[in-house]
Amino acid sequence: MSIKTATLNGVATIEIARPEKKNALTVAMYQAMTDALRAAQDDPAVRAVLITGQPGIFTSGNDIEDFIARPPESGSNSANSPVFQFMQALASCEKPVIAAVTGAAIGIGTTLLLHCDLVYVSDEARLAMPFVSLGLVPEFAASLIVPRLMGHVKAAEKLLLGEPFTPQDAVDMHIANAVLPAGEVVSHARRMAERFNALPPGAVRDTKRLMKRASAAETVSTIAVEGEIFSSRLRSPEAMEAFQAFFQKRKPDFLQFS
């Protein structure tokens, strides 16, 4: 199991722990994170959820081998796939979710931050949403939320060109709250999560729901629309070329496509 969970002092921690594959997320890991989010939601002792990774790596995003071997289904079955269940569980989590971005955050490693409430980033982290370079499209409502956060032209750099960005960029673009020295990011995020122990949980939940009310329906429908296109693109020749190039450690050749 590559997801470690523990609940301590009112904080349910979800730790991504597959450093040998740069914390790439498999179907089983999405399932484990969904179960952990649901358990945290149901446990009255939990006041906040903390999502964290390993030193130097938060997550390299979806496991590319899984993209090939176990792509999420499209059509009416897509809502049952583990990645969509995870997105639904995180986007609808009623309790505060805090992220400690311990290192590189790629693909869903960055887009999941758009659904957290407080985000702290290591000064050694790099963020990127290189969906297009993989022949894919953004997921987790990034195509809706990212342009809203930073405007169209900055979003185009991040989503069309897939340009990586620094922790300070993430703060400036309102994706993260603060940049912390690498050795302090988890303890700082945990301290912020523990602050919810001193607050009335009902008022916290109602306030989070109100903050998300205006965009909740759009977020859900965007995740569904993106998911349809994402699933069909996973099977496209462009994506196949990108995945093969990744494992063959070479540059992809997109000149062959029109």
Q: Is 22 in the site for ligand COA (CB under 6 A)?
A: yes
**Residues 30 to 69 in contact with ligand COA, rule: CB under 6 A:** 60-65
Dist. CA 120–CA 142, nearest whole Å? 19
| Stretch of 102-110, 174-182, 183-191, 217-225 lying at the interface with ligand COA (CB under 6 A) | 102-110
**Residues 128 to 157 in contact with ligand COA, rule: CB under 6 A:** 130-131, 134
Helix or strand run (H / E) with residue 29: helix 27-42
Q: Is 103 in the site for ligand COA (CB under 6 A)?
A: no
Tokens of 226: 């993106």
Which residue number places its CB atom closest to ligand COA? 107
Question: From its phi and psi, is residue 231 left (phi > 0), alpha (psi between -120 and 50) or beta?
Answer: alpha
Q: Is 106 in the site for ligand COA (CB under 6 A)?
A: yes
Q: Is 24 in the site for ligand COA (CB under 6 A)?
A: yes
Q: How far is CA 249 from CA 47, 85, 242, 244, 254, in A?
A: 44, 31, 10, 8, 15
| Stretch of 101-109, 153-161, 202-210, 212-220 lying at the interface with ligand COA (CB under 6 A) | 101-109
Nearer to ligand COA among residue 81 and residue 177 (C-beta)? 81
Nearer to ligand COA among residue 104 and residue 180 (C-beta)? 104
SS3 for 75? helix
Nearer to ligand COA among residue 64 and residue 119 (C-beta)? 64
Which stretches of 196-250 are DSSP H helices?
A: 201-234, 237-247
Binding mask 195-234 for ligand COA (x = CB under 6 A): ----------------------------------------
How is 136-156 classified by DSSP, letter by letter? ----TTHHHHHHHHH-HHHHH
Nearer to ligand COA among residue 18 and residue 190 (C-beta)? 18
Q: Tell me how far, at minimum, the Cβ of 109 lies from ligand COA, in Å.
A: 8
**Count of CB atoms within 10 A of residue 161's CB?**
11
Tokens of 56: 């130097």
Q: Is 180 in the site for ligand COA (CB under 6 A)?
A: no
Whether the Cβ atoms of residue 141 and residue 217 lie closer than 8 Å to each other? no
Q: Is 104 in the site for ligand COA (CB under 6 A)?
A: yes
Dist. CA 241–CA 246, nearest whole Å? 9
How big is the site for ligand COA, counted in residues (CB under 6 A)?
15
Contact residues toward ligand COA (CB under 6 A) are 21-22, 24, 60-65, 104, 106-107, 130-131, 134
